[in-house]
Amino acid sequence: MLKIIDRGLGILLLIGAGAHTVGSVKLYRNNLTELWLALCVTLLIVLLGTLNLVRSQRGVDHVFARITVAATASWLGAAVALGSITGNFLDPRVIINIVVCIGLIIFGLRSALRHEVAVGSAAKPSGP
């Protein structure tokens, strides 16, 4: 069940990237510089969502999990910054990104720490 939630959060990022693309094209169709920058952000969201989906499949790859957690924490910072800049932390875009990022960070830390526990217990000698 937890793996389904983990993957679902990654998929939500990808859906959000699609919505971001549609909104950006509508809003910035006459301003190519702004459109280009917005589509670069979309690319970042797609990459982050994909990284989290891959992490959810890789099991105990602690290095990959740590990289994904760091990237997701950066996006969490961007979501908080958007709320701060607009002065509206109740904006659905801000809330959704914060909730999804927190969930993905928790699952990523779970993947990273699960591997460390397994490695730590394997390093202990067994015997009397």
> What's the pLDDT tens digit per position in 63-113?
999 999 999 999 999 999 999 999 999 999 999 999 999 999 999 999 988
Dump pLDDT digits (tens) for 5-31.
999 999 999 999 999 999 999 999 999
Q: What is the reported pLDDT for 16?
A: 96
Of 115 and 92, the structure prediction assigns the larger pLDDT to 92
Task: Report the C-alpha dihedral over residues 70, 76, 81, 86, rounded to 10 degrees.
Answer: 160
> What predicted TM-score, i.e. pTM, was given to this entire model?
0.85
Extended strands (E) in the chain:
none
**Residue for token digits 């709320």?**
83
Q: What is the reported pLDDT for 64?
A: 94
CA dihedral sign, ordered 11, 14, 19, 22? negative
Q: Measure the CA–CA gap between 91 and 84, rounded to whole angstroms.
A: 11
Q: What is the reported pLDDT for 59?
A: 76
Q: Measure the CA–CA gap between 89 and 87, rounded to whole angstroms.
A: 6
Q: Does residue 35 have a pLDDT over 80?
A: yes
In terms of residues, how long is the chain?
A: 128
Q: What is the reported pLDDT for 117?
A: 55
Q: What is the reported pLDDT for 100?
A: 98
Contacts of 68 (CB under 8 A, 6+ apart): 51, 52, 55, 104, 108
What Rg, from alpha-carbon coordinates, does the chain have?
18
Q: What is the reported pLDDT for 128?
A: 53
